Amino acid sequence: MSTKDLFATRTTRMKASEIRELLKLLDQPGIISFAGGIPDPALFPAEGFAAAFQNALGTERQAQALQYSVSEGHVPLREWLVDHMRQIGIDCGLDNILITSGSQQALDYLGKLYLSPGDTALVGWPTYLGALAAFNAYEPRFDRLGINGNRRAAEYAAAAGEGAVKFAYLSPDFANPTGETVDLRGRETLLDLADELNCAVIEDGAYQALRYDGDAIPPVLALELARKRSIENCRTVYCGSFSKTLSPGLRVGWVVAAKPVISQLVLMKQAADLHSATINQMAINEVARACFDTHIPMLRRVYGARRDAMLSALREHMPDGVDWTKPEGGMFIWVTLLKGLSGADLLAKALETVKVAFVPGQAFFPDGSGANTIRLSFSNSDEATIHEGIRRLGVVLRT
C-alpha cells in the first residue's frame, strides 16, 4: 500500500504554485526577474520595525508579546483598522474584524466556510493563482465571473447544476494577474448579481492602496454598505493585507465582514493556529500608526515610476501583435502574445538565452487556457533594469 492511498480525495486537486516553484530557479546570477509579485525590500520601513520589535520586547510588554493571545487579533491593531476601513468608506466595528496570517489564510478559511464539494465559485478568467489554490482544496467547480451585464443570474444558477453558487471572488483594484480594475458600474452590477444569486462576494483588497493615477473607486463593501446601511446586512467579505505595503514576511492580513461570518472564521482560526503571531501584530500596529499615511505615498511614487518605465519599454521593444494592459496601480502588467505562442515555452527560452524570468499566464486560468499570456511584475526592479529586461524579452520574441 502506498502512503498516498491514505490521503483524502481533495489532495488530488492540490498543486504546487507555479510562481513559488519558479522562484526557486531565480538564484542564478544575472537573472532579471519580473516573476514574483513582491515588494521591493529596500522600501520596507525597516527602522520602524526594528524599533517596534525592541519596544514589544521591552520589560513592560514582553510578556504580552511572547504569550498566547485572542484568536480575533491584537485589539489595538484592530482598532487602527476600524479607523483605516472607515477612511475608505467601510464603517465597521471591532467585532467585524479578524486578523489572519496574511490574506492567503483568509482565502483558505473562506473556501472552507462557503464551499462544499461540487459548489460553484465564480472567479475571473484569469484570476489570482493563490485563490484558486486555496479554494481548490474544498472541491468546487469554477465558473467565469462576468459582470459586464452579458450574463444573467439564472444562467449562472443553471450552469451550477446541483452545486449552489456560493460566492464571487475578485480583486477589483489592479488585479493579480492582469492589473485591471473593475469600474464603478461593474462593482454595482456584481452586487446586483450577488443579491439575485443569494451568494457572497469575496473582495480581495491586497493592492487597493497602490493607486498611481486615476480616481479611486469605492470598495465593493463600501458600495454595499451605502445600499444596506449596516455591515451586518452585507454579504461582501473584504480581505486586506499589509504584505504589499509594510511587510510580507510578518504575515499579517485581516478580514472585515458581518459578525456571523467573523464568528465562524474565528472558530476556524482557533482550530488552525489559535491566533496570528502576537509580536508581529504588535509591530505592525506600531509601524502603521507611525508611518502608514506617509509610507504609502512614497510607495506610489516609486512603483508608479516603475510601472511607467515598463509600459514605455513595452511600447519600444515589443513586436507588432503583442498586447498588454495599462494598469492604474498594483504590481502587474498582463501581456497577450500572438496566437500560437506559449508563455511557458517563451519562459524556457528567455531563461536560457537572455536570463529574463516572468510567469506564464496559463496557471491563472481555472480551465488551463490562456497559453499565450504572461504576467510581468515591475515592483522589485529599478527603472534601468526594467528597460533592459523588456529589451531582452523583445529580442527573444523576434527570434
Q: Give the mean pLDDT of 67-75.
A: 97
Q: 46-56 and 278-317 helices cross at what angle (nearest 10)?
A: 170
Cell numbers standing for residue 268? 476556524
Cα torsion 62, 67, 70, 76 to 10°: value is: 10
- Encode pLDDT of 309-358 as tens digits: 999 999 999 999 999 999 999 999 999 999 999 999 999 999 999 999 99
Name, in order, each residue with C-beta under 8 angstroms of 309's C-beta and a sequence gap of 6 or more.
Answer: 378, 383, 386, 387
Q: Is the distance from CB of 213 to CB of 328 less than 8 angstroms? A: yes
261-292 pLDDT tens trace: 999 999 999 999 999 999 999 999 999 999 99
Q: What is the pLDDT of residues 87-97, one digit of tens each?
A: 999 999 999 99
Confidence of residue 384 (pLDDT cuts 50, 70, 90): very high
Distance CA 160, CA 157 (A): 5
Phi, psi of 374 (to 5 degrees): -145, 155
Q: Closest Cα to residue 34, out of 304, 381, 305, 336?
A: 381
Q: In whole angstroms, give the CA distance from residue 386 to residue 310.
A: 6
Q: How far apart are CA 256 and CA 268, in angstroms?
A: 15
Split at pLDDT 50, 70, 90, the class of 9 is confident
Please report, as a single letter, which amino acid is at residue 368.
G
Residue 256 has pLDDT above 80, yes or no: yes
How far apart CA 44 and CA 153 sit, in angstroms, is: 44
Q: Which residue has the cell 536570463?
A: 355
